[in-house]
Amino acid sequence: MDRLLEGRVAVVTGAGNGIGRAEAIGLARHGAKVVVNDIGTSYDGQGLSRGPADAVVNEIKSAGSVAIANYDSVATEKGAESIIQTAIDSFGRIDVLINNAGVVRNPHDIDEVSTGDWEILIKTHLYGTFYCTRRACSFMKKQGYGRIISTSSHTGFGWKGFTAYGAAKEGIAGFTRTVARDMAGYGITANAIRPIAHWRGTKGSLPHVAVNRPEDVASLVVYLASEQADHINGCIFEVWKGHVGIFIEPPPVQQVIKKDGSWTTEELAELIPRELTKGRSRESFSEVLHLG
């Protein structure tokens, strides 16, 4: 087997279980030295334990690879910076950052979403990705090399009950595209994945035909983390089973251009149903958008 990451140093957040665990093990199998970060909470953010991170580190070491555990939270600036610093202090550099840490909450309609749930989801997913990426890039720029792979989600397209989670995850998609442009001149790429895979928070809730094992997601992540993927930047990938898809920039699906001036409200009231929505009824839009 070709080892695509020989000599590289990787940080994987939320690596104690599920997709993050598979990513950490996959990166190590391909030669990377891995910082395995996990605070050891339940999938909904309850409790703390060093057990999950330690277990993954032991598994990597048992296979003959190199890993070290970190137990800090991505949801605080200090915690995120400590995660990245662990790589620098332990291995002298950071080449790959996998932003995977996250929590979920039970689905609620927007009027039932608590401020506490909103804050923990935004802080863990969006702030956590920002904090870790910002700190990692400060080192990657000096090295002239880096790979950043973050975790978005199809919930950002609009899944009922996932207001906070979807907002955070789609925020990560926009963040990724912008970071890709910021860092393009420094040998650094930034991409994201929208995985569908069984993990602690989805058991029994996803259709069997649509899901991977976490290891299937990790296969794509290892490739994106390698030098071979140096031409891929600012892209969002979707992954399930044998399917891999790529999103570049979301283009308009339909547009009408006025030759002179701007549209009035009266003109738009006539134009939009006729040209842009093609006469679709409210019911047909609900069906297409899975609004239920």
8 contacts 95 by C-beta, under 8 angstroms = yes
Measured between alpha carbons, how far is 219 from 242 in angstroms, rounded to an integer? 11
Residue among 127, 131, 145, 165 flagged as catalytic = 165
131 is catalytic: no
Structure tokens at 151: 């975790």
Measured between alpha carbons, how far is 128 from 111 in angstroms, rounded to an integer? 25
β-bridge pairing 9-12 and 33-37: parallel
9-12: strand order across its sheet: 67-70, 33-37, 9-12, 96-99, 146-151, 188-195, 236-240, 243-247
Q: Look-up: residue for tokens 């600036």?
A: 77
Measured between alpha carbons, how far is 60 from 27 in angstroms, rounded to an integer? 10
19 contacts 217 by C-beta, under 8 angstroms = yes
Which residues are tagged catalytic? 165
